[in-house]
Structure 1
Amino acid sequence: MDYVVFDAHSDLPTLVWEERGKGESPVLERNFEKFFGDYVRARVASVWTPPEKRVYALRYALEAFRRFKSDVHEGGRFELVTAVSEMDEAVKENRVALWLGLEGGEPIESLDVLETFHELGLRVLTLTWSLRNQIGDGVFERTNGGLTNFGVEVVGKAEELGIVIDLSHINEAGFWDALDVTSFPVMASHSNARALCDHPRNLTDEQLKAIAERDGVVGAVAIPSFVDKERPTLDKYVEHIAYMVDLIGYRHVGLGFDFVYYLREWGGKGVEGFENESRIPSLIEKLEERFGEKEVRAITFENLRRLFGHVVG
């Protein structure tokens, strides 16, 4: 079968920011086969603010958006999209549809700033990275604080603008706060099942069920420490997908690889047998062994398309 993949999370803008800062371009076009290959035809490209850049997060994010947009426009095989109809057209023409996101709300200093980012193309907001920001606490904070008052306002504004709320990285108190103040579907773009791998970045059964009850989607992540503590392999990655499908249904599970092998800070060994995009055919083969064509198409693309259609339009 022919499949296309919608990847719910990628840090490629970080690489583009670094490479274009050194005068290299076009980064994506030069690395097309490496980063996208024959399968990835839609992807959330999120700007992550590293801890050392938090003191000038807004400036960094704006620079990263500009450099990424410039890089995309220098290549003929990409399109920055802000609507599902634009994504569908790009995929139909065998181009890669890229959605702009922020991984962590550090640059969001006010609701006006959030609206400005929306005007620049932002359609996905991961509320926190793993540390505390002005919106709420990340999973590695010890205070167990939920959303701040400002965080509640941000969620409401994102709902009004049509920005997908991403609950990966936020702590449990903030997770439940977010669901309490929005009625929209949400996603956890790159998280696995905590029942299979006890890591704070993974989700409990109760969290997984809550996302499904909102008609949301969880993107299975291919970060080794989120897959298995002893020996992260492709088979164990697929086990997370299968577990979540059994628990919450195939309509609520997607893919959020978070491949970071190309970043200096996070480079290293990946999931055995699923280290990068070139291994997607092996993943598809494993999924076909467990699920029918309808389920595989839903997991690889259609579930995220449905979510974005509901929230973004």
Structure 2
Amino acid sequence: MIVDMHCDSILAAYVNRYSLAEQSQDGHLDLHRLRQAGVKIQFFALFPGIAPYMNPLQQVLLLGDFFWEQLASEGVYWDVITFGRQLLDVLHGERSGAILTVEGGEALLGNIRLLSVLYRFGVRSLCLTWNNRNEIADGVDETKTGGGLTSFGRDVVKEMNRLGMLIDVSHLSERGFWDVLELSEAPIIASHSNCKAVWDHPRNLTDDQIRGIAQKGGVVGINFAAELVGPPGCGLEYLYRHIDHISSLVGDDYLGFGSDFDGTERLVRGVKDVNSFQEIIAMLIKNGYSEATLRKICSDNCVRLLRQVLL
């Protein structure tokens, strides 16, 4: 059983006009290929990347409506997980589960009530920023100010704790990261981030940040995007370095997958689409990872977090 903590496949399907409900070779995944690959729970991001002139909230709602429409198609055995009991139904049943997320708190338009609106819409995780600054905090590309959470951002963190939503710190500035870690009463995730000690990329996490997530009981989702893994042309051996670095640093209870499928034009060499999960697992087995550790990385760590946070 696999849980993948991040993909941008809703946006890719919407913009390129193909259906996630039909099995095809479009994009890195569809709902049928996910099930064939053993993915039991997939986090689907609503990323407002349709067009820069469109209101970000409008984009999120359009993408969400498009996805709900896909789920209503005949022969699709997926449910959106919104509460703990639905999580248990998916884990112990035949159907698969989707976690709806929003990538970029600009969709809130600076209005805390819109967080509740998104919650009622089915969203259960918010990536506080993308790379740029918004009303919540600075993103990783805002290098001049070194800003962390704003007053509004602090309200967002508190309200997400109250509602039962996963706080995602991928793309967030380092100062913002530490603000969230100090303020949040619940574990946090970095849904699709790698290790700066292995590959020095602005989107990757320092060892101190990884330790902080672990101490909070959170999870880091390993990203398959080539630019976050290693030098041009690097393959699965570099992806393994990131996994093994976190495991060596904090143990195997804080690791997961956050593929970033359909959110990058270049996946690490050896990863083509969702079917490559089995090759990654085979690589870990080859490197001596036990069945118990594999189960933690593939699903158990993230499931433990969902059980804890979802109401």
Question: Scaled by the length of structure 2, what TM-score is found?
Answer: 0.92
Note the C-alpha offset of 1:115: 0.3
Look up the equivalent residue of 1:210 and give its one-letter code: G
Partner of 1:83: 83
Identity among equivalent pairs (%): 31
Measure the CA separation in 2 of the matches of 1:81 and 1:34. Answer: 19
- 2:299 aligned with 1:301, yes or no? yes
Q: In terms of mean alpha carbon deviation, does 149-158 or 72-81 score higher?
A: 72-81
Measure the CA separation in 2 of the matches of 1:53 and 1:13. Answer: 17
Measure the CA separation in 2 of the matches of 1:153 and 1:54. Answer: 27
Measure the CA separation in 2 of the matches of 1:113 and 1:175. Answer: 22
- 2:29 aligned with 1:27, yes or no? no
Partner of 1:141: 142
Partner of 1:254: 256
Measure the CA separation in 1 of the matches of 2:260 and 2:53. Answer: 21
Structure 2: unaligned runs, 5 residues or longer: 24-29
Name which of 220, 223, 230 aligns with 1:221.
Answer: 223
Partner of 1:162: 164
Measure the CA separation in 2 of the matches of 1:82 and 1:203. Answer: 29
Deviations 1:109-136 (A, max 9, x none): 2111000100111101100001111111
Deviations 1:195-250 (A, max 9, x none): 00000100000000000000000011000011002432112101111110110110
Give the 3 Å change call, closer, same or farther, for CA 227–152 of structure 1 in structure 2.
Answer: same
Measure the CA separation in 2 of the matches of 1:220 and 1:28. Answer: 26
Measure the CA separation in 1 of the matches of 2:298 and 2:114. Answer: 33
Measure the CA separation in 1 of the matches of 2:151 and 2:2. Answer: 37
Measure the CA separation in 1 of the matches of 2:12 and 2:71. Answer: 13
Partner of 2:236: 234
Partner of 1:18: 15
Report the aligned-residue RMSD: 1.7
Q: How does 1:1-313 map to 2 (within 5 A)?
A: 4-19=1-16, 22=17, 24=18, 26-30=19-23, 31-50=30-49, 52-53=51-52, 55-74=54-73, 75-109=75-109, 110-142=111-143, 143-260=145-262, 266-267=264-265, 269-289=266-286, 290-313=288-311
Measure the CA separation in 1 of the matches of 2:278 and 2:38. Answer: 8
Measure the CA separation in 1 of the matches of 2:280 and 2:194. Answer: 16
8 Å Cα contact 1:227/1:240 also seen in 2: yes
Deviations 1:16-65 (A, max 9, x none): 3325xx5x5x4233344445533111011011122843651011111111
Question: Scaled by the length of structure 1, what TM-score is found?
Answer: 0.91
Give the 3 Å change call, closer, same or farther, for CA 199–271 of structure 1 in structure 2.
Answer: same
Note the C-alpha offset of 1:254: 0.6
Measure the CA separation in 2 of the matches of 1:132 and 1:69. Answer: 29
Look up the equivalent residue of 2:4 and give its one-letter code: D
Measure the CA separation in 1 of the matches of 2:246 and 2:126. Answer: 23
Note the C-alpha offset of 1:309: 1.0
Structure 1: unaligned runs, 5 residues or longer: none
**Across the two proteins, how many residue pairs are aligned to each other?**
301
Note the C-alpha offset of 1:259: 1.3
